[in-house]
Chain A
């Protein structure tokens, strides 16, 4: 009974994710990608970092490693799967979720606290929130601009797949509150199932009270069985 935090060469938020989950009394362990998912895996975190040095495109290499087929199978079985930052890029590249995360509009790496508006409050990741709630979570990425064709975006909206949008402190979704130029301020989306989510902000960095901010805690409790 464990949440597998998948470590690739270049992952760097794997320890943070394990620590945050254990703090929430959720059993978690780091799993080296070549070892495959443990038999008792109850959920999967694809953590942040710079897997394979972001070669080709952020997440492109890791998305095509054999363990990702196991992750897709786990997702199809209904196990919770969360991709954070580089894990979100890997999630999109591997087909767990739609769209792509690419170079920030600013062309700069951005490391700052942002506000997110909760677009869906009936998923495992957001059941402690109300729709429209504003939460504060840090981002740290150079390639976090969500891109998708307009047609596919309309499908995302029609199917209620948008989980979080960048907003200001009052919950207004504006260009000024969009840190990276993401299409319609999208910060996080759901996969085919509500139990699969990817987001650029780091909930594991907003869980331990000593680190500052605990709005990420409710997202990670999506792994409670």
Chain B
């Protein structure tokens, strides 16, 4: 077993309205920034022990399916890498 960090990124499906992102964009524009579009996403970093990266990804994917993402409105991406050495 090796320590891995799986990363799950959850974002709204293309075409689903994101009023929070729109509000954030407007706030940036009020500060004088120029931008065309802003998208936001939730990123979960999950430390877990697994035999290999594929198993870590598979478990994180189940977590995304069961809880972290809502399939009606969200897409998600999963990746896994050996955990950074803890300090």
Contact = CB atoms under 8 A, between A and B. Distances in A.
B28 interface: no
Given A105-B17, A181-B17, A100 B23 contact: no
Contact of B72 (A100, A104, A106): A100
B32 interface: no
Contacts, number: 36
A56 B69 CA distance: 9
A124 B66 CA distance: 32
Contacts of B23: 107
Interface residues of A, number: 21
A174 interface: no
Residue from A98, A103, A149 with most neighbouring chain B CB atoms (10 Å): A103
Interface string A99-113: 110111111000000
Contact of A104 (B19, B66, B67, B68): B19
A30 B84 CA distance: 48
Contacts of A105: 17, 19
B19 A100 contact: no
Contacts of A147: 16, 72-73
Interface in B43-87: 66-68, 70, 72-73
- Give the top 6 A-B pairs by smallest Cβ distance, nearest first: A107-B19, A100-B72, A107-B23, A103-B19, A100-B73, A147-B73
Interface of B: 16-20, 22-23, 66-68, 70, 72-73
